[in-house]
Structure 1
Amino acid sequence: MKYVFLITLMFFVVVQVNGQEKGWVKLGEKTVAFKTETDKVSLIGNDNTVDKIKLKCIQGTLELNKVTIVMKGGEKKSYDAKALGVMTKGMSSLAYAVPDKDGKISYIELNYDTKGKVALTKMAKVEIWGKQEK
């Protein structure tokens, strides 16, 4: 009986999480270091033609300063993300518009500052999600 309850509970949790991200597909993930820096995030898969991207913190704490979307054709668009403030586990950023909606994203640059101490907190992990408007 206990196992039936646990399986049912896990099913509803998975359905709820997928429902929250409706229309969004995961494009990439980055574990960030305990310092201020800019990281280049390569995207996974071939589904890189999206209209919007957003970032979701899944572990740790970080302060996002700037997000730059670089297209395969070389076009770039930078967004000042300082207004977002500090992101902690479970928080998502605003949706950022992709500069060329018909083109593919080459990579994304994240400029950030992690919060916490090496010995006391986990490294921050960020997921990148994309959405195609219809």
Structure 2
Amino acid sequence: MMKYLILTLFFFSLAFSGQCQNDNWIKLAEKTVAFKNETDKVNLLGKENTVNKIKLKCVQGTLELKQISIVMKGGERADYDAKGLGVLTKGMSSLAYAVPDKGGKIDYIELEYDTKGKVVLTKKAKVEIWGKEDR
């Protein structure tokens, strides 16, 4: 009985995570990260850089986020402590983080992270950055 309950909850959570991904979120960037503690500067793809919220999705490997910084073209910066988020594994998404200047354009995003895993056993972690503009 407990096994069926756990399976039901698992599939229920997958249904909602897939729905959230398509709820007007657009892919802003992707990054393959190395197996070490590091801070990476991520430039956005294309011209889609005017959003109100961003979130991260791990599409490969395992990643522990420590800090996310959103830097606007005007110089404004917002730093978010992501340690409480825990570890992201394949398919998991972070919380949505507010962009500091709602009408402004994002210049770049800095990710401070620690990848989990062994170089020989697992692939590098890949992260996608998604953005959403609330109207």
TM-score bracket for the superposition, by shorter chain length: 0.7 to 0.9
C-alpha deviation, 1:19, in angstroms: 7.0
**In structure 1, how many angstroms separate the alpha carbons of the residues matched to 2:82 and 2:92?**
14
Q: Structure 2, unaligned stretches of length 5 or more?
A: 1-17
Q: Give the structure 1 partner of residue 101 of structure 2.
A: 100
Deviations 1:9-51 (A, max 9, x none): xxxxxxxx57742200000000000000100000001010000
2:84 corresponds in structure 1 to: 83
CA distance in 1 between partners of 2:41 and 2:21 (Å): 27
Q: Identify the residue that residue 31 of structure 1 maps to in structure 2.
A: 32
2:123 matched residue in structure 1 = 122
* Equivalences, count: 119
Aligned to 1:71: 72
> What do you get for the CA RMSD once the two structures are aligned?
1.4
Distance 1:65 1:37 in 2: 10
Alignment match, 2:42:
41
Once residues 108 and 19 of structure 2 are traced to their aligned partners in structure 1, the CA distance between those partners, rounded to angstroms, is 25
Amino acid corresponding to residue 127 of structure 2 in structure 1: V
Partner of 2:5: none
- Which amino acid counterpart does residue 46 of structure 1 have in structure 2? K
Change (3 A) 1:18 1:83: closer
User: Which letter does structure 2 place at the counterpart of 1:74?
Assistant: G
Q: Secondary structure at the match of 2:128?
A: strand
Partner residue, 1:9: none
| TM norm structure 1 | 0.86
Q: Give 5+ residue unaligned stretches, structure 1.
A: 1-16
